[in-house]
Amino acid sequence: MSSAPQAPVTAVPAGTRARIAPTETGSPLPTHDGEPHTTGTAGRLNWLRAGVLGANDGIVSVAGIVVGVAGASAARAAVFTAGVAGLVAGAVSMALGEYVSVSSQRDSETAQMAQEKQELADSPEDELDELTALYAARGLSPATARQVAEELTERDALTAHLDAELGIDPDDLASPAQAAGASALSFTLGALLPLVAILLPPDAWRVPVCGAAVLVALAVTGTVSARLGGSSPARAVRRVVVGGALGLALTYGIGHLFGTAVG
């Protein structure tokens, strides 16, 4: 097939994925300010966002436990034991949940990849027509859609179909073990802050110091999460700080009430 100019191909609607029009040499597409078209960027942002949310869960969960126990008992050993137990249980729960979730996702993607590979082997012409229709539906003219489909099929038919039809990048499948480890690590790092903050100060200052440290940490995680998601940091910080403050007050009140009643 004769070579054709690439300009019509690059004028793809915003909803079309960036890999539709790579250059002949495989070099990256030109970028706009603040909008790099780099393979894996979205995946890295998702990992960062998940890590921030995991740390946030660790902060809130363990803070609620240690503040609640501190409201019921002044014994440092009881607070320490409850905090460590909450940290370990939370990290294990987060890791298991993430492992199961990502394993299911990966199994599904692997099955879809195998099915697509079989369909390409059984009926390549039908698959080429399907790929053409997909690009035409995204706003390309029929001739340009056909040209794009043919060129991408010549380069890597399976990757082209996985991208356009299923939104799967075969080189960027999530790892269940990595996801579980990252989830457990982020939860643990977040959980360590309230645990340390409530154990180091004198008894009279334990709850206030822990509460202040937790609210500052929540403000930081709220800001980072909002910036990663492109939303307003001020609104996100208000939500997490107010929610965290209410949660700490509630758990301390319950611990104090039931601790006094049982004692």
Question: Over the stretch 174-184, which tens digit does the pLDDT of each residue have?
Answer: 788 888 998 99
- Above 50 in pLDDT, residue 3? no
One-letter amino acid of 237: V
Q: Which residue, chain included where needed, has tokens 């457990």?
A: 184
- Asked if 28 and 37 touch (Cβ cutoff 8 Å), the reply is yes
Position 28 pLDDT exceeds 80: no
Across 1-15, 89-103, 185-199, least confident range: 1-15
How many other CB atoms are found less than 10 A from the CB of residue 171?
8
Quote the CA–CA distance of 167 and 164 in Å, as a whole number: 6
Q: Of the candidates 232, 190, 199, 242, which has an alpha carbon nearest to the alpha carbon of residue 62?
A: 190
* Cα(51)–Cα(91) distance, integer angstroms: 12
Question: How much is the pTM?
Answer: 0.70
Average pLDDT, the chain: 80
- The 3 state secondary structure assigned to 242-253 is HHHHHHHHHHHH
Ramachandran sector of residue 147 (left: φ over 0; alpha: ψ -120 to 50; beta: rest): alpha
Rounded CA-CA distance 72/77 in Å is 13
- Residue 157, pLDDT > 60, answer yes
- Residue 34 CA: distances (Å) to CA of 222, 228, 230: 21, 12, 11
Task: Report the C-alpha gap between 104 and 113 in whole angstroms.
Answer: 14
What is the rounded average pLDDT of the residues 46-54?
78
Q: Is 219 exposed, middle or buried (0-12, 13-18, 19+ CB in 10 A)?
A: middle
203 in Cβ contact with 63 (< 8 Å): no
Query: What 8-state DSSP symbol labels residue 171?
Result: T
| Choice between 227 and 260, residue whose per-residue pLDDT is larger | 227
**Residue 122: Cβ within 10 Å count:** 9
Count CB atoms within 10 A of the CB of residue 130.
15
First to last CA, the chain: 86
